[in-house]
Structure 1
């Protein structure tokens, strides 16, 4: 009996630690490189991720760069939180493009992050790719057609850009030559432009700032309430960085601030959608006549009503359609924040690259001679290669969108490593350094076929792939057979707007707004160097990467 008790004790003492280790400690995926020390900790990589965030206020780019170099691999796995499954990181822009463009049946957008599911659960960004999702997405994609954008949206963005220039002139006049903080200015301008593009109504955030400077009094407008509501989404996004993100979001949802957000959001959406429907009914004699569209909401209403009529159904009450309400919010949030932050990075880059700034201004002055600002028609129709290159390089260097998230929908492979169904895969959205090399035969067949179709050149060995830590617009330019300088968007592989079916459907709108804002601001002002204490490149990482500081010292051209 004693012998059996001894054997049982030894058996138990052996199995319990094994059971505890399997339950509490990370369980790496076979083969994929990982940090051995992290795998021996219950916390996994959480401590280093938290330390990076506390030191740099961002973690994703620094973490994947260090770990990829440490393990000499373009693919790694890491353990983000205790008791969670390993996640995979891929830093290879070519393979990332393959995943998001050509392997969409194997990898879908990762919609389990929680932020959008809490705020806008019926939007396309919060849901997996289904036939119903495609129908919802298609309606909004039509609002991004170049004809509609150029005819309806561009003139409103142009007007907002002119208002911004007036605001900056007033700020400079009262600054005493000191740097001015313009973070809110770009945020207000982007929201002004997006709101009128979406609803045909003005928020007048920039004009209220102009009035504040003229009168010395803060002007209360509905635009300020809308702006604070949009900004709150970023605050909720901070819950992703905690020890237990799901609990953090649960706690936020029960706060008075969250309830106030819901109240303001619903109030503004109700009013705006009712106004849009009333205006649509008043001006539209035909439910399928695009000439009457004055904003994206008009187009959405017309398409939805026409589809109902075609199906022999009653016209829907779109003010109560939860999908339209949530999609409007993501349209406004994503379009506002990405453009605003990219413009902030752009002016910081211009401030710190005086030679490139001068070259860009000279290129614009040559393209638009006469001494006055070009018209919206001129901006839309004139091909200026250096302008295109400067914007593309700003997208690459700014890195407003830090990562692309996908989830494996089936058991598959990346670089020959097995990726189980349900595994989350993260990739940097932009190209910041050269990836670790990988043998060609280990790439997917679709990746190999795409390279062969493009001519078989290894982009990492080109001159354009050198000095990726520097801002060099010229890397995007080449000479065509006729000896003419042209912009080549395929010079490097980076995925600032994602790609494939889950790519950013607002890309055309974002590029239109960037083009107009860049042309008018660069032709109106010189962005002079600012002192070091106003020139930090530290990041605030929320859903997007925002610069902690955005000060400028302006001189009229």
Structure 2
């Protein structure tokens, strides 16, 4: 027994001196895992935010697995931004590489920064160009935007939908009931229905014919004929082979509407801003086209798009690994230590901590609920301008290791929000169906995602 106790002490990983931690976790082979499962099951991000408040510190350490090294958490926006932007002694962590390598061993997100990472990322470089985003991605997103809204009412995740009692009524009807309903129709009904059936068949045929003609006319223009990512990659590969294998030169990667539904003033201002800009579509009684939306410059729409991921936390955090001993907020962090920068908690969605001047210039302010105005500044004419760096947010990371397709994400949100706000009024849901809670997996997923829609 004595030998077992000595062995347990030897295998325990010691905490980093001077950085707050849970004393009992440092003495347990399971670290902080039991506390996470008990206090915040399925929601690691909320637990980490609570630890910062518990230790009253912007820096602390946790043990996220049995017999693992401590992980350092930086719960401060300014310091986190500095780590992601300027600290070359930190790189992609081995922890995240191990999580993702099973499904995507050679994908650039799992690789350390270097020649192989650059080569893998270069394979996808064309997918973030304006030509691809506007000509390929935008039309497809546009076509499916309203289908996504219909999905809210018809998928199995919505047991309160009106469709269920209607289906139950049909299931309960016998063949005799159905025949009686059919026989009750007037003779004129059958005549009209037959003509409508024929008309309904003619229209899709004509539409399909027109689409085919348009596609054939566009075949000579290869760039516009691209319809998917695979199309683009195959065409580029052919071009590469024609150039004797040389790679082409460098070119300059979940919306939650509860925030809008819960603040009707924000929603109304957003609706007015969109309608005011798209005057032609409004006067013609139609939806704006995907090209009109892509080209639109609506500062308040851009501000709402920036504010939603700040509050939603779909990406829960960024992780880095120290390539050498380094100093963060006055503490020496050993080589090989994983550093996590969470996107929720102090200095993001609640007041931050004052930090001594000798360590860093203090930066903290109270964070209100959804406030798109934080992203707007006035120009010399007094008009609103969108400023993407005005508020505390890091939903896509920063610099080289930031999200590769962030432009696609912004474009998707711009199209979806424009079409949804144009077509529907988002009304506040009952409290039992309106929760901001989430479950942390690879990303953070909402526990509830119900919307109460009213056609405008």
Task: Say if 1:459 and 1:491, in contact at 8 Å, map to a contact too.
Answer: no
Q: CA deviation at 1:295?
A: 2.8
Q: Distance in 2 between matches of 1:312 and 1:41?
A: 55
Which secondary structure does the structure 1 equivalent of 2:385 belong to? strand
Q: CA deviation at 1:513?
A: 0.6
Kindly indicate whether residue 402 of structure 2 is the aligned counterpart of residue 503 of structure 1: yes
Kindly indicate whether residue 455 of structure 2 is the aligned counterpart of residue 556 of structure 1: yes
Q: CA deviation at 1:402?
A: 0.6
The count of aligned residue pairs is 391
Match runs of 1:20-99 below 5 Å: 20-23=8-11, 25-54=12-41, 57-60=42-45, 62-99=46-83
Q: Distance in 2 between matches of 1:385 and 1:118?
A: 41
What residue ranges of structure 2 are gaps of 5+ in the alignment?
A: 172-217, 248-252
Q: Distance in 1 between matches of 2:40 and 2:387?
A: 36
Which secondary structure does the structure 2 equivalent of 1:442 belong to? coil
Q: Distance in 2 between matches of 1:297 and 1:420?
A: 43
Q: CA deviation at 1:144?
A: 0.6
- Find the partner of 1:467 among 348, 364, 367: 367
Task: Say if 1:68 and 1:436, in contact at 8 Å, map to a contact too.
Answer: no
Cross-structure match for 2:240: 307
Q: CA deviation at 1:67?
A: 1.9
Q: CA deviation at 1:106?
A: 1.1
Q: Distance in 1 between matches of 2:36 and 2:120?
A: 37
- Find the partner of 2:276 among 366, 382, 394: 366
Scaled by the length of structure 1, the TM-score of the pair is 0.64
Kindly indicate whether residue 350 of structure 2 is the aligned counterpart of residue 433 of structure 1: yes
Task: Say if 1:180 and 1:553, in contact at 8 Å, map to a contact too.
Answer: no
Write the deviation string for residues 382-406 of structure 1: whole angstroms up to 9, x where unpaired: 2111111111111111111111111
Cross-structure match for 2:214: none
Task: Say if 2:71 and 2:339, in contact at 8 Å, map to a contact too.
Answer: yes
Kindly indicate whether residue 161 of structure 2 is the aligned counterpart of residue 140 of structure 1: no
Q: CA deviation at 1:310?
A: 3.1
Q: CA deviation at 1:131?
A: 0.4
- Find the partner of 1:387 among 291, 301, 309: 301
Q: Mark the CA change 1:422 to 1:167 in structure 2 (over 3 Å): closer, same or farther.
A: closer
Write the deviation string for residues 223-255 of structure 1: whole angstroms up to 9, x where unpaired: xxxxxxxxxxxxxxxxxxxxxxxxxxxxxxxxx
Q: Distance in 2 between matches of 1:164 and 1:546?
A: 17
Q: Mark the CA change 1:311 to 1:102 in structure 2 (over 3 Å): closer, same or farther.
A: farther
Write the deviation string for residues 10-65 of structure 1: whole angstroms up to 9, x where unpaired: xx96x975553132x341012222222322333321211111333xx3122x2222
Cross-structure match for 1:112: 95
Q: Distance in 2 between matches of 1:117 and 1:180?
A: 44
Q: Distance in 2 between matches of 1:365 and 1:139?
A: 39
**Greater than 6 Å deviation, 4+ residue runs:** 283-286
Task: Say if 1:74 and 1:92, in contact at 8 Å, map to a contact too.
Answer: yes
Cross-structure match for 1:442: 359
Q: CA deviation at 1:377?
A: 2.1
Cross-structure match for 1:542: 441
Which secondary structure does the structure 1 equivalent of 2:128 belong to? coil
Q: CA deviation at 1:511?
A: 0.5
Scaled by the length of structure 2, the TM-score of the pair is 0.77
Q: CA deviation at 1:442?
A: 2.1
Q: Distance in 2 between matches of 1:540 and 1:65?
A: 14
Cross-structure match for 2:197: none
Which secondary structure does the structure 2 equivalent of 1:143 belong to? helix
Kindly indicate whether residue 311 of structure 2 is the aligned counterpart of residue 397 of structure 1: yes
- Find the partner of 1:351 among 234, 244, 261: 261
- Find the partner of 1:378 among 264, 285, 292: 292
Q: Distance in 2 between matches of 1:526 and 1:301?
A: 42
Task: Say if 2:326 and 2:335, in contact at 8 Å, map to a contact too.
Answer: yes
Q: Which has the higher helix share?
A: 1
Q: Mark the CA change 1:167 to 1:38 in structure 2 (over 3 Å): closer, same or farther.
A: closer
Write the deviation string for residues 85-106 of structure 1: whole angstroms up to 9, x where unpaired: 1111111112212212212x31
Q: Distance in 2 between matches of 1:474 and 1:147?
A: 31
Bigger Rg, which one: 2
Q: Mark the CA change 1:386 to 1:295 in structure 2 (over 3 Å): closer, same or farther.
A: same
Write the deviation string for residues 343-391 of structure 1: whole angstroms up to 9, x where unpaired: 2x2x222222222112211221112232432122221122111111111
Q: Mark the CA change 1:312 to 1:59 in structure 2 (over 3 Å): closer, same or farther.
A: closer
Cross-structure match for 2:431: 532
